[in-house]
Amino acid sequence: MAPDRVTTTPAGRYEKPVLIIDDHELVGTSLMLSLRSEGLVAHWCGTAGGADAILAEARGLSPGLALLDLDLGRDRRGAVLDGVRLVAPLVAAGWRVMILSGSGDHVRIGGALADGAVAWLPKNAPFPALLRSARAAADGREVMAPERRQKLIDLFHEQSSVRAELHSKIDKLTQREREVLAELAQGHRAQAVADRFVVSLATVRTQIRAILVKLEVSSQLEAVALYRRATGR
């Protein structure tokens, strides 16, 4: 869709646009038409072109309200598109960003809010609630209770600190120790790991002991749990 740079209502009154950023065409266009039927000037922006194409389309409009999903699928090259990474550049371009996502990951939502999104609304929210929130956000009014918003932001910062600490421990491992730990995290036993890397079982056991020391844990289970928390796997 080629958006108009300037948008007016039939009466000539300027309306700030609502840009729906969603990878599902049926969802995006249905929401666009529903918002248009309520008098909002809505556009749907697909995601196949990737982050640069999304931001270029946003720059082609006078800044208004962006309804942004967090899980945007993959672009034409197969790269995963994370909506969180679009929040800061959209805000910098003058857009008010409201997260409209099915994701229940409060840490990711908190990250989006920390980057400047004004609110989060579940994707399955009733349309009247969505419409009220969209109008309020477009008008610059409060959409989300400040204490709720801050709680999610604090959760994001807290988890970011925890992950940074976990990564600092993972960074102590050698490349081979990381590979061994990754194999253990996939449920492979020491002998299978030895076979995988064509080394002796004694060598793998030595590597596992080194991993436990560097990660400051006392068992393989703890090491695997730390690795999964750090990598999200």
- Domain boundary residue among 158, 186, 217? 158
User: End-to-end CA distance of the chain, in Å?
Assistant: 37
Please check whether residues 145 and 113 belong to one and the same domain: yes
Query: Cα–Cα–Cα angle for 27, 130, 87, nearest 5°?
Result: 75
Residue 2 pLDDT > 70 = no
pTM, to two decimals: 0.72
Model confidence pLDDT, tens digit, residues 161-212 = 888 888 899 999 999 999 999 999 999 999 999 999 999 999 999 999 999 9
**Cα–Cα distance, 125 to 102 (Å, whole number):** 10
State the total domains in the chain.
2
Model confidence pLDDT, tens digit, residues 55-65 = 999 999 999 99
**Inside any domain, residue 2:** no
**Cα–Cα distance, 91 to 200 (Å, whole number):** 55
- Domain boundary residue among 107, 125, 158? 158
Higher confidence at residue 89 or residue 104? 89
Residue 85, burial from CB neighbour count under 10 angstroms (0-12, 13-18, 19+): middle
Residue 176, burial from CB neighbour count under 10 angstroms (0-12, 13-18, 19+): middle
